[in-house]
Amino acid sequence: MLKKLLNWALKKKASDEGLTLIELLAVIVILAIIAAIAIPIILISVNNAKINTTEQDLNIIADALNRYYLDTGSYPTQASGNISGVASDLSPKYLAGIPQDGWGNSFNYSSSGTNYTVSTSVAENSLYYYVSNSSSVTYASTAP
């Protein structure tokens, strides 16, 4: 009896159960096509989210600087450099914390007291995003 059962198991055709190599390759090709379509869309969405975050943070900083100006009559002075140099002037009354751009970089700040510019450069798209007391959030291929 055991011998008959063993012979039956060995004679069983490969097509009776499981996937053939061609079926497996077809599934892999379909998954590769889906990935080829989805991955670029996801990467574009992530980049757009970083740009939107940067623009929103620039607007938040500009709002804090304008409120500081209304209270004191001038903007925090700094020739140029990282915005953390004026963090003590802005935090916590005007700004809860100094944000970073969407790529994790610090914003640059320069001010003479009557004008200011806040900017950041993004290596991924070779653009500079900036805001000043005379303009809204803008981007350009050269530094402001």
Q: What is the pLDDT of residues 59-68, one digit of tens each?
A: 888 888 888 8
Could you count the other beta carbons within 10 Å of the beta carbon of residue 17? 7
**Res. 42 pLDDT band, cuts 50 70 90:** very high
Which tokens sit at 80? Answer: 């140029």
Q: Is the dihedral of CA 82, 84, 89, 90 positive or negative?
A: positive
Give the percent of the chain with pLDDT over 70. 77
- List Cβ neighbours of 14 (8 Å cut-off, separation of 6 or more): 20
Q: What is the pLDDT of residue 74?
A: 82
Position 4 scores a pLDDT of 63
Strand order across the 108-111 sheet: 108-111, 116-122, 127-132, 135-140
User: Is the whole-model pTM more than 0.75?
Assistant: no
* Cβ neighbour number for residue 128 with a 10 Å cutoff: 16
Ordered by start, the domain boundaries in the chain are: 31-140
